Amino acid sequence: MSRLVMHVDLDAFFAAVEQRDHPEWRGRPLVVGAEPGRRGVVATCSYEARRYGVHSAMPIAKAVRRLPPDTIYVRPRMERYARVSRQIMAVLETISPRVEKVSIDEAYLDVSGLERLVGPPEVIGARTKARIREAVHLTASVGIGPNRLIAKLASDADKPDGLTVVRPDTVNDFLDPMPLTVLRGLGAKTAPRLERLGLETVGDLRRLSLEELRRRLGAQAGMQVHLQARGIADDQVYPASKRKSISKETTFGEDVTDAAVLKDTLRWAAQEVGYLARHEQRKGLVVTLKIRFHPFETHTRSRTLSEPTANDVEIFRTAWELFQAECWTSRPVRLIGVGISGWGEAQPVAQLSLFDERMPEPHPAQARLDATLDAIRDRFGRGTIQRGLNRRPPR
DNA sequence: TCTGGGGTCCTAGGACCC
DNA sequence: TCTGGGGTCCTAGGACCC
């Protein structure tokens, strides 16, 4: 039985929430994002603003130049949007029990088998949109198709307030005229490389052999693009995908050279990361320092600890040591931040109580090491493994 | 024009191991 | 004494996404 995947995408979400909450802003160009006159970008803008060619991720200075003087500029109110998002996700749970939230304003639903209960895909989609509108007074664009890729492209195909259903036998007709950049993995850098070969559409892309694509894009990306061009993609919905890292970073209003400011900022970021990690009951084995110099040169430095941590001081100390190990002082810094990553699936360990019989699973790296050790023991005998195998001495 | 903040995934090279 | 093959882990960078 073939699957049916639905993608739900709220229209201009942040801007729509602001216009909903402030009726006097409706029908006017509105930008949610950085403060005009400062560094930053447009997070989202209303459809009235999009008519001036403004879009997400556009530098705010450029947007200001394009937009009329009566444009409304507001800073994001993330708590507000998160609250509305939770309401929407709750609505989606009434449509199907299999909901995957992919971002604050987007979700995939597995609606396979719902046709017998509800009706054809068009009815499932229309019902979803109606329930969202009733609950939060916002519009969503909905796409339904045989897998995630097609569902996502279908929701993009008719915005705002659209509903597009792509049946399996029309997938190729649907994809063929689309530009290369609709495919996952073909962005601003990679797509032009293929366009230089004279390829413009997904239909064109199918002329390239798998070998050619793998050679040009790498084994993994080449394979993915080859499959996507034929409408083949993941058709599973993953209700509870957990995040794999926690980070905090900030861009300074003006570039910073004062080491004391950098140190204080890093301390703040480490506190934020530690707080979030403890809140989620996670500990990370890897601390990563991120730094961006003038004009826009980004570097990362990371260290794997001997024990996972969620401790502010330890995160800060590690990040600061990573900073000090480089000859970076006196270079103007645009951005600095820190993150942690590397935890096993079975964390949080803290949730285990004396009465809980489950044991935490080892960190994936540890699990792989153990498996390797077992394999080596099988091959070479019990006595071959010493302590410290595969462990490198600290630098 | 001048590029936020939060993420994910992939690649590639070197160290290290049997 | 000199050497390949197969594998993992760690690190840095980069492309990409919302």
pLDDT score, position A240:
85
Instruction: Please state, in angstroms and rounded to a whole number, the distance separating the CA atoms of residues A131 and A195.
Output: 42
Chain B nucleotides near the protein (CB, 7 A): 1-12, 15-18
Our answer to whether residue A106 is catalytic in this structure is yes
- The residues of the protein lying within 7 Å (CB) of strand C read A 57, 102-106, 152, 181, 183-191, 286, 298-304, 365, 368-369, 372, 390, 392
What was the pLDDT predicted at A368?
40
- State the Cα–Cα distance between residues A316 and A298, nearest whole angstrom: 20
CA dist., res. A164 & res. A126, Å (int)? 10
Residue-wise DSSP of A278-322:
HHTT--EEEEEEEEEETTTEEEEEEEEEEEEE--HHHHHHHHHHH
d(CA A178, CA A198) in angstroms, rounded, equals: 15
Residue nearest to nucleotide C12 (CA to C1'): A300
Specify the pLDDT at position A165.
98
CA nearest neighbour of A338 among A271, A252, A293: A271
pLDDT tens-place values along chain A, 395 residues long: 789 999 999 999 999 999 999 999 999 999 999 999 999 999 999 999 999 999 999 999 999 999 999 999 999 999 999 999 999 999 999 999 999 999 999 999 999 999 999 999 999 999 999 999 999 999 999 999 999 999 999 999 999 999 999 999 999 999 999 999 999 999 999 999 999 999 999 999 999 999 899 988 998 899 999 999 999 999 999 998 889 999 999 999 999 999 999 999 999 999 999 999 999 999 999 999 999 999 999 999 999 999 999 999 999 999 999 999 999 988 999 999 999 999 965 433 332 222 222 233 333 333 443 443 344 334 333 333 222 222 222 22
Closest alpha carbon to C1' of B17, residue: A390
Structure tokens at A105: 């304003």
CA of A340 to C1' of C5 (A): 35
CA distances to A27, A153, A170 from A167, rounded to whole Å, are: 35, 13, 6
Q: Which of A18, A48, A100, A106 is catalytic?
A: A106
- C-alpha to C-alpha distances, A269 to A112, A289, A310, A331, A335, nearest whole angstrom: 43, 10, 13, 20, 12
Strand nucleotide closest to residue A62 (CA to C1'): B1
How many Cβ atoms are within 10 Å of A284's Cβ, its own excluded? 24
Helix, strand, coil content of chain A in percent (nearest 5)? 45, 20, 35
CA-atom Rg of chain A in angstroms: 25
Rounded Cα distance between A338 and A322, Å, is: 11
Q: How far is the CA of A219 from the C1' of B12 (A)?
A: 13
Task: Count CB atoms within 10 A of the CB of residue A161.
Answer: 13
Give me the pLDDT at residue A344, please. 67
The C1' atom of C11 and the CA atom of A19 lie apart, in whole Å, by: 46
Protein-strand B interface by C-beta, 7 A: A 34, 39-41, 43, 56-57, 59, 61-62, 65, 218-221, 243-251, 276, 295-296, 334-335, 337, 339, 341, 376, 379-380, 384-386, 388-393
Distance CA A201, CA A180 (A): 5
**According to the model, what pLDDT value does residue A107 have?**
97
Nearest residue to nucleotide C11 when comparing alpha carbons to its C1'? A302
In angstroms, how far is C5 C1' from A182 CA?
A: 41
CA A147 to C1' C18, whole Å: 20
Nucleotide of closest approach to A189 (CA, C1'): C15
Q: Quick one: pLDDT at residue A38?
A: 94
**CA A383 to C1' B1, whole Å:** 64
Which residues are registered as beta bridge partners of A340?
A: A246, A287
Q: Which residue is nearest to nucleotide B11 (CA to C1')?
A: A218
pTM, rounded to two decimals: 0.85
